Amino acid sequence: MSIARARGQVDVSNFGLCFGQNTAVSDISLYVEPGEFVSLIGPSGCGKSTVLNAVAGFLTPTTGQVLVDNEPVRGPSADRGMVFQQYSLFPWKTVRQNVEFGLKMQGMGKSERLATARTLLSVAGLHAFENHYPEQLSGGMKQRVGIIRALATGPRVLLLDEPFGALDAQTRMIMQGLLLDLWEGLKISVLFVTHDIDEAIYLSDRIYVVTAAPGRIKAELTVPLPRPRDSGMSETPEFLTLRSRLHELIREESLRAMGNEVEAGSGRGVGRDLADAIGAARH
């Protein structure tokens, strides 16, 4: 008797991508095991989103390959759900219609779409808002709808590009908890891009640190925290040690990205120079 293999494995091998003469990422290799939660973190402009968009099928590698369950990614597919930082809901559709959209594209019947959408909205605490339009929702509610819409089609992999970056601290914590609940319930593979070190540690099984552009993998770190996670873990020695290590790695790359113009200590030298220049201009 054959045993069905778990689905949702991502393999990125020697991936490089150029835009004209500009190399965005170079020789990136990473993997996500089925059901694993993996984060990408690094300085702005290092190519984290480029990697994510290649896995989504929006970008074609210049070199290397991107596989999902040992099949080359040749374009967008319902087996990979995507959630962006900017709210990507259709403004002319209601909350329920937004969630139903992917199901409709898959050919699901109206009554089944309705039942599926309402179930998902209830799970996300949004059932009472199913007939609202996106402009009537808060930022956190819009992202809840975005996540539910991405999950509605039953993807093997969920891709999230800084989905909570625009939210206030309290809403971000609530959304992180919701995402973990959905992930643990669905056993889906997740590749998550963030700039927030604490967020990466709290959510992830493993974290890849990406260098300054052109992006490469600088380090791969395993998160030594048990699941389920809770906010109290942020004060544990394991959390604090990993946070310090990540901060060190990312600071090195952020300084390199800025051309080492910031002083190695605190960066206050540049601030003083700018203040002097502004003062001189005013006089």
Q: What is the 3-state secondary structure (H, E, C) of 201-247?
A: HHHCCEEEEECCCCECEEEEEECCCCCCCCHHHHHCHHHHHHHHHHH
Residues of the chain predicted below pLDDT 50 = 1-4, 260-261, 263-265, 274
- β-bridge partners, 77: none
Cβ count near 25 (within 10 Å): 28
Whole-number CA gyration radius for the chain: 21
According to the model, what pLDDT value does residue 2 have?
39
What residues contact 33, with CB distance under 8 A and at least 6 apart? 9, 189
- The number of helices, as runs of H, and strands, as runs of E, in the chain is 8, 10
Tell me the whole-structure pTM to 2 decimals.
0.87
Residue 1 confidence (pLDDT)? 37
Q: What is the pLDDT of residue 4?
A: 46
In the sheet that holds 71-72, the strands lie side by side as: 22-32, 10-19, 63-68, 71-72
At 259 the pLDDT is 73
Predicted local confidence at residue 124, as pLDDT = 85
Q: Is 126 helix (H, G, I), strand (E, B) or coil?
A: coil
The CATH number that domain 10-79+154-231 falls under is 3.40.50.300
What sign for the dihedral angle of Cα 250, 143, 233, 157? Answer: negative
Task: Supply the angle between the helices 169-186 and 139-152 in degrees, to the nearest 10.
Answer: 20
Domain locations in the chain as residue ranges: 10-79+154-231
